[in-house]
Chains A and B, each alone.
Chain A
Amino acid sequence: MIVAEQKPLQAVLEMLRGHRKVLAVGCGTCVSVCFAGGRKEVGVLASALRMARGLDGEPLQVDETSVQRQCEVEYIEALAGGIDAYDAIVSLGCGVGVQYLADRFPGKRVLPALDTKFMGGPTEAGVWEERCQGCGSCILDRTGGVCPISRCAKQLMNGPCGGSKGGRCEVDAGIPCAWQMIWERMEALGRLDELLEIQPPKDWATSRDGGLRRVVREDLRTPRGDAS
């Protein structure tokens, strides 16, 4: 899932300076599951904003809503009817959701209430960890199912570096050394010899470095002019 975290209240208040009536929009998918931008979090944030602005003597009307997925136009279409009544939209979606709202409502200011963090999952209650950077060419078959691109601080392809100690990364003792994990996994799988092969430089063209990325599936495309 995409993991996000709410911005500090003060930062959201700062963005909302000068606005009087806004719509806070949650998202029912990833950010709902990681307790950052679901229906419940929309309610809590809206109350906090109203209260803070009330104390400042500059009341703010915050209406609340949530859609199943901010990253699909079909779902945000439902907001179109009443949107003119608001002078801004506060999105509690990830960065994708914010941009889909901005694209659908070009005349409205859309403000991000979340910081989108990474693709990952929960490791224990209240803790989420990164697992994938979307580099565009997966190598997990060669690294025992542990990703060095997202989990090694230096993105080493032939690790570990000299800073691995007791299975921990030198950057932060709270971070497990990805290459120690890769080594242990490959050993358990009886495939250590594969780690002795030199991995060539990675082709980053499939990663963010190649510019805006698109996935095109011709078999799923609707022929132009034939939309049903």
Chain B
Amino acid sequence: MSGGIVLLVLLGIVVVFALWLIAAYNGLVRLRNQLDNAWSQIDVQLKRRYDLIPNLVETVKGYATHERETLEKVTQARAAAANAQGVQERAQAENFLTSTLKSLFAVAEAYPDLKANQNFLRLQEELTSTENKIAFARQFYNDATMQYNTRLQTFPVNLVAGPFGFSAREFFEVGTASEREAPQVKFQG
């Protein structure tokens, strides 16, 4: 009789353990998916910025005919960012694009007709917001990474994370040295 009870208890323990394993695995999968989604969200916002820029350049061209150089810088920076390979290079190219846009908006301050143009104002708000969204997307990616890594490394999930094939992810940061330096991308002409 007691053997039967012992068997039942053992079965119960195994079942509970199995349930916990399933929950732990699913939890890790959920967090990892959230992470991957966050990464692609960054791309979505960066792409939105690409799509807004030609419109902006056209609008400014009509009013600020003497600012050809600034406009070209923006266009070329955009192309460079679109073609960049690798995380580091891409992040640098994107940062450079941000700085060219900033100088374009600074230049636009000198043209009151342009500043009053509804289209320009709308684009300015859109671009400012897109910059914010890029920052927030990166922020969320880092938050999600922190959450995932923490879950991975705390007991008791850390015991099974390795065998399940989950590994810690890197945060999104441009290397500090290269961030501080003004990006030196050379243009032809």
A and B bind:
no
